[in-house]
Amino acid sequence: MKSKERIIFIHIPRTAGGTFSVLLDKAYSDCQRLSVPPHLKGKPIPIQHLVITGHFAFRPRYTQDFLATFLRNPINRIVSYWLYHNQSQGASLSLYEFIESGIAEPQADWLKGSTLNDFDFIGITERFEDSLRLWNVLAPKSKNDTDIDTSPSLRKNASDRTNIPIPPIDKSMLKKYEYDFFLYQHAERKFQSIYSKYHFG
């Protein structure tokens, strides 16, 4: 198999990667795609499939293939994670308690050992539809694959659609996520630079 024909998508929690994975399911046949189960996070994954998705950390050998992920504004992500955790676990943590708990791993932890240049595609959650358009231009496809649907989608999860008042968050509360802000800002600039080259109307 030629280099860059295989797709590896690192799904960082609460970055719209679940919705993106559903769209990948529709674009690539099941016989080609492998969704890595959570218990394999951080462990070596099998590489015999054409599309590999899941919650697993970066490894240098993944750069031999078309490596992709999504990044999200760290404040938006931590709020989303907090809402999701309380709803899914029946918990009642305040936002501040949730931040202190360390439940939400920094996005940078999933990408440890990599640079942005190691990735062939980095989507931006806040520009989800734009990210899908760029994916359709950049991602490898076989003759049986289709483009990802770029129409307005299911991206906003139920846990993000809530009337719960969101307390103000100061960056000083998010020392643990300090590198996430740096990573996100640089990824956003890189995304815009690439996106502008294709003159999407």
Q: What is the 3-state secondary structure (H, E, C) of 28-47?
A: CCCCCEEEECHHHCCCCCCC
Torsion of CA 43, 58, 82, 101, to 10 degrees: 70
pTM recorded for the entire structure: 0.87
The residue extents of the domains of the chain are 7-77+105-158+178-197
CB atoms within 10 A of CB 7: 24
Mapping DSSP to helix (H, G, I), strand (E, B) and coil, where does residue 120 land?
Answer: coil
| Average pLDDT value for the chain | 85
The pair of structure tokens assigned to 48 is: 């015999």
Identify the bridge partners of residue 33 per DSSP, sorted by sequence position: 51
**120 — pLDDT class (breaks 50, 70, 90):** very high
Q: Spell out the alpha helix ranges (H) of the chain.
A: 17-27, 74-89, 95-101, 107-110, 128-138, 178-197
* CB distance 47 to 64 below 8 Å: no
**40 — pLDDT class (breaks 50, 70, 90):** low
Q: How far apart are CA 77 and CA 17, in angstroms?
A: 12
Q: Could you read off the pLDDT of 147-184 as tens digits, one per residue?
A: 887 776 555 554 454 556 677 777 777 888 999 999 99
Q: Which class does domain 7-77+105-158+178-197 fall in? A: alpha beta
